[in-house]
Amino acid sequence: MNTAMKENCLVIAAACKKIYDSLRMQSFETKTKIEKKTYINMKSGSIATLLIIAIIVSSLLPALNEGKISIGTFIALVNAVFSLVQTMSWRLSNTMYELARLQEYIKDLNPFFALSEKKDACVMPVRNNDFTFETLEFRNVSFKYPGTENYVLKDCSFVLKKGKSYSFVGENGAGKSTIIKLIIGLYDDYEGEILLNGKSIREYDY
């Protein structure tokens, strides 16, 4: 392995580690939020459980004082209530944990479902045997992802021609993947022109 390849491997490894650390931190923060919500919900459930027990016991006391039930029956009923409420409390704790967990993940899921769908995105592609690739040209293309201010590509221009091999090389975030996304039409809100065989890709059916 030559020096250039080693350097590239080190750059890729560093980029992967950076991505992993970022995702691990996001996961840790999400889990911490879940644990906090679970703790609050469990404490709320415990208070509600104690209130239920207090209400049931207090409703039995008048009958005990009036002699309508014996002390043995009273104790048996109270024990039964404790057992029932304890079982409910455990199930309630598990339910509260799942609720807190789902609430955190739904926060990420809802924006995903809110994304607009590209027209004809679900239509199966039709193979056009008459199509022959000749050139692909980026002409002063600038692009920034929705919701961001920084341009990933700025006045990018190049031409790819039939019969030749090309490679995109650059550090993480240089715009290599973005170029591919623009070529296949994932984003169409770019500035400049992307021409396939001299025709804008916006004019092609998706």
pTM metric for this prediction: 0.46
Name the residue with higher pLDDT: 116 or 157.
157
Query: How many Cβ atoms sit within 10 Å of the Cβ of residue 195?
Result: 17
- Domains of the chain by residue range: 3-113, 135-203
> How many Å apart are CA 172 and CA 176, to the nearest integer?
8
Choices 3.30.9.100, 3.30.210.10, 3.40.50.300, 3.40.920.10: CATH for 135-203: 3.40.50.300
pLDDT of residue 14: 72
Name the least confident of 70-84, 93-107, 172-186: 93-107
The pair phi, psi for residue 122, each rounded to 5°, is -95, 0
Average per-residue pLDDT in the chain?
81
Tell me what the mean pLDDT of segment 32-45 comes to.
72
pLDDT of residue 8: 64
- Reported as a single tens digit per residue, the pLDDT across 164-192 is 999 888 888 888 999 999 998 888 889 99
pLDDT of residue 5: 66
Q: Are 156 and 141 in contact (CB under 8 A)?
A: yes
- Reported as a single tens digit per residue, the pLDDT across 123-164 is 787 777 788 999 999 999 999 988 788 899 999 999 999 999
